[in-house]
Amino acid sequence: MRKIITIFALFLAVFTNGQEEAKEKLDALNTSTNLTWEGNKALSEEKFIEAEINYRKAISKSDQNVAAPYNLGNAYYNEETYGEAFGRFKKAGELATDKNSKHQAYHNMGNVFMKRKEYEKAVEAYKEALRNNPSDDETRYNLALAKEMLKKEQDEQKNDKNEDNKDQEDKKDQDQNEDKKDGDDGENEKDDQEKDGDKGEDEKDEDKDGEGDQKDQDQKKPEEGDEKEQPQQPRPNQLSKQQIQNLLDAMQNEEKKVQEKIDAQKVKGAKVKNEKDW
């Protein structure tokens, strides 16, 4: 009996606590809904700051209020604050429990991607929106537009890539032509250098030949010491120095004899000087 009473008491406590928690959540949702309504009113009066404050309060009061983040996302979208808008739409899509709410959240996420020119992400967002509401013509139109913009972007990227490849090929060809030209210039310069080298070799050979001739001449030319030490050989039909000296001596002797004879004759034939008498 005590067991039954204890179990019943626990069940009653749990039920009571559950009711209280449910009541608290319901009260929080009601408060959040009222704040959302205040935010809508302020936004309609173009009081963005006041509307933003009320929406933020509504979000903090209850995580069951899908309208608060969704409406705040719309407010940011109209202010062209697309980063904040996307975050709020994403939150609304995560909180949504019905397909219609999910459809609206993903549809607006697709709109943000279109504004950012992120067409591939926009296509995926619109597809998710259509999964939750296939009959929405506006979403279907936006999806077709996103696909067209994505195709155009891909074609432009392909053309740009082809242009880049063409520019690279042209640059490569230009570099190859310049390298070839430099190579030809180098070959010409090498030929000139070889010609100059051949000319230098010829000059070197000539110098070498000249040096050889000079060397032969030097070898043929007698040294001064050798010329003094070696007796000069008499040439054909010419007298030697000794023979010439002997002839000179003989001539001098003959001249001496002749002179003596002449002197003797002068003495004999000389007139006596007459002195004057006073």
Give the mean pLDDT of the chain. 77
Distance CA 68, CA 75 (A): 11
Q: Which of 35 and 210 is assigned the larger pLDDT?
A: 35
Lookup result for tokens 């070959």? 187
Contact assessment for residue 55 and residue 71, using Cβ atoms and an 8 Å cutoff: yes
CA angle 190, 195, 199 (to 5 degrees): 145
For the chain, give the number of residues: 278
Nearest to 175 by CA among 163, 187, 183: 183
Distance CA 63, CA 92 (A): 10
Residue 201 φ/ψ, nearest 5 degrees:
-65, -40
Q: How confident is the model at residue 204 (pLDDT cuts 50, 70, 90)?
A: low
Q: Which of 196 and 259 is assigned the larger pLDDT?
A: 259
pLDDT value at residue 47: 95
The alpha carbon of 146 is separated from its chain's Cα centroid by a whole number of angstroms, namely: 39
Cβ-in-10-Å burial (0-12, 13-18, 19+) of 142 comes to buried
- Alpha helix positions (H), 45-98: 48-61, 67-78, 82-95
Lookup result for tokens 């933003």? 52
Contact assessment for residue 120 and residue 94, using Cβ atoms and an 8 Å cutoff: no
pTM more than 0.95: no
Q: Which of 6 and 179 is assigned the larger pLDDT?
A: 179
Average pLDDT over residues 255-259: 70
Q: How confident is the model at residue 77 (pLDDT cuts 50, 70, 90)?
A: very high
Q: How confident is the model at residue 92 (pLDDT cuts 50, 70, 90)?
A: very high
Please give the single-letter amino acid code of residue 68. Answer: A
Q: How confident is the model at residue 246 (pLDDT cuts 50, 70, 90)?
A: confident
Q: Where is average pLDDT lowest: 22-31, 34-43, 47-56?
A: 22-31
CB atoms within 10 A of CB 57: 17
